[in-house]
Structure 1
Amino acid sequence: MDLQQMRYVVAVAETRNFTRAAERCSVVQSSLSHRIAGLERELGVRLFARSSRRVELTSAGEAFVVRARECLAAADRAAADAAAAAGVVRGRLAVGVIVTTAAVDVPELLQRYRAQHPEVRVMLRSGRSDDLVAAIRAGELDIAFLGLPEDQRPSEVETLVLDHDEHVLVVPAGHRLAGASRVTLRDIAGETFVDFMPGTPARAQSDQAFTAAGLARDVAYEVGVVELITRLTVRGLGVALLPSAFVRPLAADDPELALVPVVDGPRRIEVLAWSRFNPSPATRAMLDVLGVRSAGAVNGPGAP
């Protein structure tokens, strides 16, 4: 058994197709099939159930793939650590990002990172803050940019607060409150709201603010992407509360949106999180590009 056989098995498991797996591995299909068949003979089990139209993992195959992924990750880490010891950062960096990230210009950050470490493969993943934290704990992500309620910190990961922000009321330009200098939660509690899905940190920020004020509200539209929130708001279907640092640039380019400060509105923190368990050389290199010197200090994106 060797690492290449493991890579072939994982590729077939992920593509469910021998031809696509061979293309991914840059090898002819006959060679890939031959190596997998040899591995199955060595193990004495079938890893895949095959037909003319379908390829599926057997129970033995499912068990094998779990450990094969761990072996391949360990091999990649060994190579990355060896390169780092020689002064070269290699390997993979998996980065999680919420779509409302504003404390860091992520594309600009990645541009600087690539200029310093061109041999690192960067994988980006967007999603909910809680899902991204879970992915760090599971070893699927190395580092992530999160948005959380002000009193919340994720556990079992290293964290650093990058910024504090407050939400603003987002209304269509013709709304009765569009020209207001400021409002309170009580002023807007009777409005129809567009918000994120229940149970997400993004939704919790607004829910907690209204609960703390002893107010109820009607959330008529619950969506998973922030772009849809602003589009529904422009159509007059509801109002929204969104982080000011994120939504102000959008409103500056869209005359159909108006923003109103909320005196007692939700507040959030933007948090950098990364694996507490033995960060990879690529992760440590990203922390260095970010200017993270210790658990208590961070310099901005322009830091050396």
Structure 2
Amino acid sequence: MIDEEITLKKLEVFLAFMRLHSLARVSEELGQSTVSIHRALHSLEEGLRCPLFRREGRSLAPLPAAYAFAKHAQRAVSETEEGVRKVRELAGFAGGRLKIGSLYSLTLRCIPQLLMGLKLRRPELQIDLTLGSNQELLRGLDEGRLDAIVIGLQAPLDDAQLLTVPLFEDEVHLAAPLGSPYAGRAHVDLRDLEGEKFITLGGGFVTSDSFDHAFRQAGYTPETIMRVSDIFSLINLVSGGMGYSLLPGRVAEFSTRIQLIPLDAPYASHQIISLLISKSRERDPNLLALAAECRMYGKGQRLGG
């Protein structure tokens, strides 16, 4: 058992002394008298039941035991500080950093606008942005590596643990190079493309799910010659004539060398771009500010549309 004389406060005093090697400097840094500092160190030795220092005149010189104990004391204090930070965040008391995850395809307009609005609301907030697939981002949120994610959903999410804030809906189109045989059409029947070559994103992306859904509706499996890991490479391959793809309308401004053609109604596929956060953290002031900014963005999209 840990002796009651061993407390976190005394460990902090001990670590400060091991760093500064002076009772007077520790006293100044911690705002305590030198007598209190000396008493804390002495009682820590009593709790450990072994000496940590030897006297050299009015000074204390650390023994080897003190250096060995300092490593463990530092880990104990650091772990406690991290635990306090996480508990405060879970209880709704915000930290100074927010880790947000998003899709690559939202980085042209949506995410920059959200982050600028969030910084206006909370100028002191530091933001880490992680880009990835739906699958990667959902895993990051579930494991606590991300505080919030903005992703595409094919249907409203039924998860009692998550709070969902919809921003806008996006329609999936046929992506074709300029001058393709389908370029002049107002919309396209996917059955007309049977036999054409296609490129798509790898598994885990909402756009690859939309691709599979649309072709299930069309009743055939397309000839997929390549799967890529990011939407920018996919757009470049389509624009270079390597094949066709299905892409959401939001990517139209990423390249002027592809054309997005609406699909006929039977193959229509929509993505609901949504903010997801854990309901256990919905009182966090940083996440409240982000959710408010997402609602404003969504309102602007509906008014603009």
**TM-score under structure 1 normalisation?**
0.67
1 CA distance for matches of 2:272 and 2:302? 20
**Compared CA separation, residues 207 and 257, structure 1 to 2 (3 A):** same
- More helix by percentage: 2
2 CA distance for matches of 1:81 and 1:275? 12
- Secondary structure of the equivalent of 1:207? helix
1 CA distance for matches of 2:169 and 2:187? 20
Q: 1:92 aligns with which of 72, 91, 97?
A: 97
Which position in structure 1 is the counterpart of 2:203? 198
Which position in structure 1 is the counterpart of 2:49? none
Which position in structure 1 is the counterpart of 2:299? 299
**Compared CA separation, residues 120 and 234, structure 1 to 2 (3 A):** same
**Compared CA separation, residues 301 and 72, structure 1 to 2 (3 A):** farther
1 CA distance for matches of 2:302 and 2:217? 38
Q: Indicate the RMSD between aligned Cα atoms, in angstroms.
A: 3.8
Matching of residues 62-77 of structure 1 within 5 Å: 71-72=81-82, 74-75=84-85
Which position in structure 2 is the counterpart of 1:130? 135
Alpha-carbon displacement from aligned partner over 1:215-244 (angstroms, at most 9, x marks no partner): 111111100110000111111110111001
- Secondary structure of the equivalent of 1:286? helix
**Could you list the runs of 5+ residues in structure 2 that have no partner in the other structure?**
1-7, 16-65
Does residue 176 of structure 2 align to residue 171 of structure 1? yes
The answer (yes or no) to whether the contact 1:169–1:239 under 8 Å persists in 2 is: yes
The answer (yes or no) to whether the contact 1:146–1:271 under 8 Å persists in 2 is: yes
- Secondary structure of the equivalent of 2:150? strand
Alpha-carbon displacement from aligned partner over 1:127-164 (angstroms, at most 9, x marks no partner): 11122122222222111110122365566321122222
1 CA distance for matches of 2:224 and 2:78? 46
- Secondary structure of the equivalent of 1:106? helix
Which residue identity does 1:283 align to in structure 2? L
Alpha-carbon displacement from aligned partner over 1:58-92 (angstroms, at most 9, x marks no partner): xxxxxx79x9668515326649979x6xxxx6521
**TM-score under structure 2 normalisation?**
0.67
2 CA distance for matches of 1:4 and 1:239? 66
The answer (yes or no) to whether the contact 2:165–2:294 under 8 Å persists in 1 is: no
Which position in structure 2 is the counterpart of 1:181? 186
Which position in structure 2 is the counterpart of 1:149? 154
The answer (yes or no) to whether the contact 1:91–1:121 under 8 Å persists in 2 is: yes
Alpha-carbon displacement from aligned partner over 1:230-288 (angstroms, at most 9, x marks no partner): 111111110111001x122234xx2x322211112322211111111133221122223
Which position in structure 2 is the counterpart of 1:208? 213
Which residue identity does 2:145 align to in structure 1? E
2 CA distance for matches of 1:73 and 1:243? 41
Which position in structure 2 is the counterpart of 1:262? 263
Which position in structure 2 is the counterpart of 1:29? none
The answer (yes or no) to whether the contact 2:202–2:229 under 8 Å persists in 1 is: yes
**Compared CA separation, residues 70 and 152, structure 1 to 2 (3 A):** farther
Does residue 288 of structure 2 align to residue 278 of structure 1? no
Report % sequence identity: 23
2 CA distance for matches of 1:202 and 1:3? 52
**Could you list the runs of 5+ residues in structure 1 that have no partner in the other structure?**
7-34, 44-63
Q: Of the two, which has the highest radius of gyration? A: 2
2 CA distance for matches of 1:160 and 1:132? 16
The answer (yes or no) to whether the contact 1:81–1:281 under 8 Å persists in 2 is: no
Aligned length: 242
**Compared CA separation, residues 265 and 190, structure 1 to 2 (3 A):** farther
**Compared CA separation, residues 104 and 275, structure 1 to 2 (3 A):** farther
Which position in structure 2 is the counterpart of 1:222? 227
2 CA distance for matches of 1:70 and 1:302? 46
